[in-house]
Structure formats: C-alpha cells, structure tokens
Amino acid sequence: MLLIRGGTVVKAEGSLRADVLVDGERIAAVGPRLTAPGARTLDATNRLVLPGAIDPHVHMALPAGEGLVSSDDFVSGSRAALAGGTTTLIDFATPAPGESLRSAVEARMAAAARSLCDWSLHPSVTSWRDDTAGDVAWCMERGLPSFKVYLAYQERGLGLRDRDLLRLMSAAAASGALVLAHCENGDAVSFLTQRLLAQGKRSARFHPLSRPPEVEAEAVERALILAEDRGCSLYVVHVSTAEAAETIRRARLSGRAAFAEACPHHLLLDDSCYEREDAADFVMSPPLRSPSHPPELWRALADGTLDAVSTDHCPFMRKDRRRSLDDFSRIPNGVAGVEHRLALLWTFGVLAGRIPESRFVQLVATGPARIFGLAPAKGAIEAGADADLVIWDPGREWEIRAATQKQRCDSTVYEGLRVKGRAETVLLRGRVVVEGGEIRGREESGRFVARRGPPRAAPAARPEGR
Ligand code: URP
Ligand code: ZN
C-alpha cells in the first residue's frame, strides 16, 4: 500500500484537498485524512495530485522517408514522457508501401513493447486494399478502435484519397470506431510546393507558404462533411488555425460527433520563427501560423471546442533537418514536445489565466481517456482506476533546454523558455517511476492498454473559461 498525503487532488470536475490510497496497481480510495498503517507515505503538501497524463498523438521512431527516422524511440520517448508527467502514449502503426494494416500493427506492437509507460496505437489506413476491411475488424477486436488518415502526403504513399476515406468511414461507422484525420489538402500542398520551388523559394522560410490556413480549413470542412455523410465519429488532429477551430465549433454546436486537439507549438509559437536562421528546426505540418491564430486556439480550448492537447511529438536531429536546406519539402516534418506538454500548458494556460486547473486536467488526461476509450482505468483519480498519478509542484520554476531534456534530440523549439510546474513524483500503476524528477522506471515497464470505441457525441461547448 502507498498513501499520498496532504495534496490537492485535481479532477476535471474541480479540485479537493484529499489523500490518495494506492493498493497494488489501483487507486483504493480518495478522501480526506486517510489512514493505512504500514503503508509507504508520499508527502504531497503544497503539491497537486494529477492523474497521469495521456498523450494521444506521438510518433516514436517514425520513418520519414530518405532513410530518416524520428530521433526518439519507444524507450527514450517514453522516458521523456514519464519525466514530464505523461504515463500513457498513443502512437501510430503505419503500413509501409505494399504492407497490410495487420502486419504494420503487429510490427509496431513489438517495437512499442519496450516502452516504459503504458501505450496503445492508432492504426493508420494509407490505402484501401482487399484485406483492409478485415484488418480494421481485427484491430477493433484487439482494442485498437481508432484509425488515422492523412489527407496530405499522397506523394509519400501516406495520404488517402476521398474515395478510400469514405470506405474507411463507412467501416468505422458500422463498427463504432473513431477516425483521426490529419487535415491538409494534399493536392493543394503539392501544387503550392512545386510552384514555390520553381520560383527559387526553396529555404525553410517558405515552408508555411506551401501549407497556408485555407489548406487546413478546406480539409477540416471536407472531413467533417464526409464523416457526417457516413455517420462516423471524427477527431481532427493538430488544429492550427482560427478557421479550422471555428468550423469544428459549428459542427459540435450542431450535435456532430466531432472531436479535436491542439498542440503546444501552435498555441505558443508563430510564423516569425521561419524568419530565424534556424528556421529548419521549426518545420512541422501544419506549420506555425501568424500571431492572430494562437489566441483563437486558446479560446477554443477554454470553451470546449477542442478536447485535448497532444504533442504530435516527432523530433529529428539537426543534422537530419539541415541536409536539405535548399529544398524545404525534403526537411523532415515534426518537433519534440512529449516531455514539456504539461509544464507548457500549466504555465501558459493555467498560470496565465487562460484555462482553470480542472480544464488543464481535462485536456491532458480525462478528455483523451474518454475519447480514446481508456476510461475508466486511465485519466481520472477515482477508486478502482489505475494508480497513474503525478505529484505536481505547481510553482517550481525552470528553463527548457535541449542540453538538459530527456527527449533524444539536439534542439527544442522552446529553447530558453522559462516555465513553472514540474512532475516531482510519477506513479505508473502504483509503481514510483519518477522520483525527484529522475526516472526510476525500467524498459518494458509499460503495458499495452486495450481500448474501447469513442463516445457517440461530443460534449456541448462550454462558456469561456469554465
Ligand atoms: O509535422 C508533423 N506533424 N510531423 C509528424 C508527422 C505527421 O504529419 O503527423
Ligand atoms: Zn502526427
């Protein structure tokens, strides 16, 4: 038995002064002045107790073409996740050209088994073959009820044409699965990219011009229309623009099962980063936007239009980013974030007065648990749930630096940023895996978590800030 004593437990419904009693892998009780003779005690005085956070969008060891692979694997990336207070990751299983979905899932499950934190996968449907419908059913039976599609990257064999998207959405509607969509119009991106390159506009500073806001807005609108037509639930990943957020707001107000997330980089940075000498380090898709967009994303997080903050964690080493400086379209896309998500959202969300602490917990834990079928085991501090817990020091001030991060990457887009809030102690199913900010967990201490299908409707938007 283990007793976390004297802290403030933060739930999506509000906070309370309470102790948390852990028995084995589960939470046994939550309440004031609990006693447990002989139990190990962790003092949480002046600390918050948070549910272990869930990052539903990460890419560990992602093959990115031309022999490049994202630089965190499941071991290093899950260590970084735990250090930041995240205890469950959902990565992706993406078939190589010609590979079946089932084969991709089996291979990825073997790789993910090395994770230190708990994990699941979203199978990515990149084409519709004779065996895809059967493989979708096979995934559902194994507790993988969410499928990723890319509306961009057709030239890399990842992007799905609308005809095949409709096939997947029909199968998802019939089986109660969720479709996650990377919403950018791939043909528009390809057209704009070729034109920029032909005009000699080849450096990283032109990357955002190849994927302007309307490219995202069109794809979000289309994905919502097609999902409604097929009657399937949709989750829009990495919403980056005011226009896309507004489209999702309207869809939800009309009662559609539409869910969506934002990422810290789109909330905190803007396209002035592409003017910097190290612009290549900021290449991600969708790109960073002009300064008018982040305030609208914060508003959408506060009013319930957006359900989650994920990271789209996908780091690359500088040498890999910089080998294509004369062709922005060959710079590998993605940035690191899994380690810093909670501290960033705490500092610039809660402490800046943009969201209350209950909403913080909803966005990083309780919301993703519900949408991705991890609840009630994950995402909330309740008796019977997995004892995935974070003792959070809300006032601890520190600086994000590539030199000291646990993410395996030699840069961070947040270099030098001062943040507050740190995961002091982290428990994964009752075991202390981070102590005093240092990792105690071992490789393979994470477990695959079988998931259920998504809720049938999105919750209504809420008044600002509540
Ligand atoms: O730039 C990004 N988002 N990289 C990760 C791969 C993807 O597109 O999701
Ligand atoms: Zn992604």
List, as one string, the DSSP characters of 300-315.
HHHTTS--EE---B--
pLDDT digits (tens, 9 = 90+) for 385-421: 999 999 999 999 999 999 999 999 999 999 999 999 9
CA of residue 255 to ligand 1 center, whole Å: 29
CA of residue 352 to ligand 2 center, whole Å: 27
Closest residue by Cα to residue 125 from 23, 33, 50, 232: 232
Residue ranges lining ligand 1, Cβ < 6 Å: 59, 182, 284-285, 312, 314, 333-334
- Determine which residue's CA is closest to atom 2 belonging to ligand 1: 334
User: Which ligand has the minimum distance to the alpha carbon of residue 310?
Assistant: 2
Query: Taking the complete model, does pTM exceed 0.95, yes or no?
Result: yes
- pLDDT of 457: 67
pLDDT digits (tens, 9 = 90+) for 19-51: 999 999 999 999 999 999 999 999 999 999 999
- pLDDT of 453: 79
Looking at ligand 1, which atom is closest to the CA of residue 237? 9
Residues 102 and 142: beta-carbon distance below 8 Å: no
Looking at ligand 1, which atom is closest to the CA of residue 70? 5
- pLDDT of 460: 60
**Given phi > 0 = left and psi -120 to 50 = alpha, else beta, which region is 67?**
left
Looking at ligand 1, which atom is closest to the CA of residue 153? 8
- Local confidence band at 441 (pLDDT 50, 70, 90 cut-offs): confident
Provide the token pair at 315: 């780091």
Q: Give me the phi and psi of 107, to 5 degrees please.
A: -65, -40
Residues 301 and 293: beta-carbon distance below 8 Å: no
- Determine which residue's CA is closest to atom 9 belonging to ligand 1: 312
Separation CA 95–CA 104 (nearest Å): 5
Separation CA 422–CA 100 (nearest Å): 42
- pLDDT of 466: 39
* Total length of the chain: 466
CA of residue 238 to ligand 1 center, whole Å: 9
pLDDT of 463 over the 90 cut: no
Looking at ligand 1, which atom is closest to the CA of residue 283? 1
CA of residue 243 to ligand 2 center, whole Å: 20
Strands 86-93 and 53-55: parallel
User: Which ligand has the minimum distance to the alpha carbon of residue 153?
Assistant: 1
Separation CA 383–CA 29 (nearest Å): 5
Separation CA 408–CA 93 (nearest Å): 21
Q: Is 255 helix (H, G, I), strand (E, B) or coil?
A: coil
Give mean pLDDT, residues 439-453.
93
pLDDT of 456 over the 80 cut: no
Separation CA 76–CA 114 (nearest Å): 10
Closest residue by Cα to residue 45 from 392, 360, 435, 291: 392
- Local confidence band at 252 (pLDDT 50, 70, 90 cut-offs): very high
pLDDT of 459 over the 90 cut: no
Mutate to test the pocket of ligand 1, among 149, 238, 330 (most ligand atoms within 8 A of CB): 238
- Determine which residue's CA is closest to atom 4 belonging to ligand 1: 334
Give mean pLDDT, residues 116-140.
98
Share of the chain above pLDDT 90, in %: 94
**Given phi > 0 = left and psi -120 to 50 = alpha, else beta, which region is 429?**
left
Residues 91 and 99: beta-carbon distance below 8 Å: no
Looking at ligand 1, which atom is closest to the CA of residue 333? 1
Mean model confidence pLDDT for the chain:
96
Give mean pLDDT, residues 413-432.
98
Query: For 399, how many CA atoms within 13 A lie in the half-sphere containing its CB?
Result: 6
Mutate to test the pocket of ligand 1, among 59, 158, 210, 281 (most ligand atoms within 8 A of CB): 59
Q: Which residues are CB-neighbours of 118 under 8 A, at least 6 positions away?
A: 87, 88, 89, 378, 386, 388, 428, 429, 446, 447, 448, 449
pLDDT digits (tens, 9 = 90+) for 56-102: 999 999 999 889 999 999 999 999 999 999 999 999 999 999 999 99
- pLDDT of 464: 45
User: Which ligand has the minimum distance to the alpha carbon of residue 265?
Assistant: 1
pLDDT of 465 over the 80 cut: no
- pLDDT of 455: 76
pLDDT digits (tens, 9 = 90+) for 362-382: 999 999 999 999 999 999 999
Q: Is 280 helix (H, G, I), strand (E, B) or coil?
A: helix
User: Which ligand has the minimum distance to the alpha carbon of residue 158?
Assistant: 1
Separation CA 52–CA 59 (nearest Å): 19
Give mean pLDDT, residues 297-308.
98
Looking at ligand 1, which atom is closest to the CA of residue 314? 5
